[in-house]
C-alpha cells in the first residue's frame, strides 16, 4: 500500500504535460488565455442526485477510506457540467482522521473534536503524518481521478488557522472566541499547533501533487475572523512558511478565505500566486488594486444560485464584466455550492462563462 507514496517521483514529472497548458493552470500562472476557466467549490456533493445515490449513510471520513468511491464522486460534476477542473472529494479534516484524536464530521454540523485542544499536552497528541499510511487512500483516489480526467485535478488542504480553530473550539463556531482567547493567552500553544498543522498541510499537498494533482487550494476559510493585528502577530508567520513551501511544489497554489476584505493587502504580500475571494468584495476594484500581483478567483454569492436562472445569469455577467479588469481570473463562487442548488443552474453558469468568457478575453487581446 505504502509503496505508492514512497516511490512517487517529483511533482513535475507526474503532472500530465497536457495539463500544464490547460486553461486553469495557464490562468493561475498568469499566462494569457482565450477564455475564463470555471469550476465550483463543493461542485461534488449534496447538490447532485448522482452523489446522493452512491454516497450511502456513512460519515464522510468513512467514505474517504474507499478511493474508488471518492474518485467517482470527484468525477461526477466534471461529467455533468464540463467544468475546467475537478476538485478532489475529501475534506480539510481528512488527514487527521487516522491520528486518534477523536475527530469526526457530523452531518449537518461539520467537524467535531471529542476533547478539544487547550494545552501543550493536547497539541502533543498530534503526531506527524506518516503519508504512506495516513494518506494512502487519498493518494490512490488522486491516481484514480487523474487516470480518467482530461482537465486538472485540484488537490487541497485546510489552512493552519482554520484547522486550529476546529481543534480548539471542538466544533464549528461563529465567533471563534475560544481559539482567539488561546492565541492571546497562550501564544506558544497556538504556535506549536500551527507549526504542526503547516507540516501536515505540506505533507498532504505533497502527496496530492506527486500523485498527479495539477493545482492546489488552501482552504483557510475562517482566517477573516482575525483582526489585521492578530493576523500579523499570530497567523502570518505560519502562512508565510506555508506559502513558501507550497509554492516549491511546482504547481499553482490558490489561497482561499471568506470575509478577507480587511486582510487582502496582507494576503497578497504572502506570495501565493492566486487568491480566492468571497462575494462581500467588489471584484473590479480588487482587480485594479491587486490584479497585476495575483490571479483572482471567485466572487459569485452562492445564495444567488437559488434565484431564477435569468437573475443568476445576469449576476454571472456582472462578475465576468468586473473580471475583465483582472489580467487573470478564474470563475467560481465566493464559497461552496449550497446543497439545495439546482444542478441545472450550475450547468447554465458553465455554459455562459464558456461563451462570454471567450468573448471577453478574446476582445481584450485585440
Q: Which residues bind ligand CP3 (CB under 6 A)?
A: 41-45, 60, 87, 89, 91-92, 105, 107-111, 156, 219, 221, 336
Say if residues 246 and 254 touch (Cβ distance below 8 Å).
Answer: no
Is 55 assigned a catalytic role? yes
Catalytic site includes residue 42: yes
Identity of the residue, 166 or 361, whose beta carbon is nearer to ligand CP3 in the bound complex: 166
Smallest distance from ligand CP3 to CB 337, Å: 8
Catalytic residue among 55, 80, 118, 241: 55
The residue among 20 and 46 lying less far from ligand CP3, judged by its C-beta, is: 46
Q: Which of 4, 20, 29, 46 is catalytic?
A: 46
Which of 51, 89, 166, 329 is the catalytic position? 166
Tally of CB atoms within 10 A around 127? 12
Shortest CB 118 distance to ligand CP3, Å:
21
Which is nearer to ligand CP3, 92 or 274 (by Cβ)? 92
As measured in angstroms, the least distance from the Cβ of 48 to ligand CP3 is 10
Task: Name the residue among 332, 247, 323 with its Cα closest to residue 33.
Answer: 323
Q: Measured from the CB of residue 357, what is the shortest distance to ligand CP3 in angstroms?
A: 21
* Nearest-approach distance from CB 74 to ligand CP3, in angstroms: 8
Q: Is 91 a catalytic residue?
A: yes
Active site residue 196: no
Catalytic residue, chosen from 35, 81, 89, 91, is 91
For the chain, first and last CA: distance in Å?
Answer: 53
6 is catalytic: no
Cβ atoms of 323 and 343 closer than 8 Å: no
Catalytic residues: 42, 46, 55, 91, 166
Amino acid at each position: 500500500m505504502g509503496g505508492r507514496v514512497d516511490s512517487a517521483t517529483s511533482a513535475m514529472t507526474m503532472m500530465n504535460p497536457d495539463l500544464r497548458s490547460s486553461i486553469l493552470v495557464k490562468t493561475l500562472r498568469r499566462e494569457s488565455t482565450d477564455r475564463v476557466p470555471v469550476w465550483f467549490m463543493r461542485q461534488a456533493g449534496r447538490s447532485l442526485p448522482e452523489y446522493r445515490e452512491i454516497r450511502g449513510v456513512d460519515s464522510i471520513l468513512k467514505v474517504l477510506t474507499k478511493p474508488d468511491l471518492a474518485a467517482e464522486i470527484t468525477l461526477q460534476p466534471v461529467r455533468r457540467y464540463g467544468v475546467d477542473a475537478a476538485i478532489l472529494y475529501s475534506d480539510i479534516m481528512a488527514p487527521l482522521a487516522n491520528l486518534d484524536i477523536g475527530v469526526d464530521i457530523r452531518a449537518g454540523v461539520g467537524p467535531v473534536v471529542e476533547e478539544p485542544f487547550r494545552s501543550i499536552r493536547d497539541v502533543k497528541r498530534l503526531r506527524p503524518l506518516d503519508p504512506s499510511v495516513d494518506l494512502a487512500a487519498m493518494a490512490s483516489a488522486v491516481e484514480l481521478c487523474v487516470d480518467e480526467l482530461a482537465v486538472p485535478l485540484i488537490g487541497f488542504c485546510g489552512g493552519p488557522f482554520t484547522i486550529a480553530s476546529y481543534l480548539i473550539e471542538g466544533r464549528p463556531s461563529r465567533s471563534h472566541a475560544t481559539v482567539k482567547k488561546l492565541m492571546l493567552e497562550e501564544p506558544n500553544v497556538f504556535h506549536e499547533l500551527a507549526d504542526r498543522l503547516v507540516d501536515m498541510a505540506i505533507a498532504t499537498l505533497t502527496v496530492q501533487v506527486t500523485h498527479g494533482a495539477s493545482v492546489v487550494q488552501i482552504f483557510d476559510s475562517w482566517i477573516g475572523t482575525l483582526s489585521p493585528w492578530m493576523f500579523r502577530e499570530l497567523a502570518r508567520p505560519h502562512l508565510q512558511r506555508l506559502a513558501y513551501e507550497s509554492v516549491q511544489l511546482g504547481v499553482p497554489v490558490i489561497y482561499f478565505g471568506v470575509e478577507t476584505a480587511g486582510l487582502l493587502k496582507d494576503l497578497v504580500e504572502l506570495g501565493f500566486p492566486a487568491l480566492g475571494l468571497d462575494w462581500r468584495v467588489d471584484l473590479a476594484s480588487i482587480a485594479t488594486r491587486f490584479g497585476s500581483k495575483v490571479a483572482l478567483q471567485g466572487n459569485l454569492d452562492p445564495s444567488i444560485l437559488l434565484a431564477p436562472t435569468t437573475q443568476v445569469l445576469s449576476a454571472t455577467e456582472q462578475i465576468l464584466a468586473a473580471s475583465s479588469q483582472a489580467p487573470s481570473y478564474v470563475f467560481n463562487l465566493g464559497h461552496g455550492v449550497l446543497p439545495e442548488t439546482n444542478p441545472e443552474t450550475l450547468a447554465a453558469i458553465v455554459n455562459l462563462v464558456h461563451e462570454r468568457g471567450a468573448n471577453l478575453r478574446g476582445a481584450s487581446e485585440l
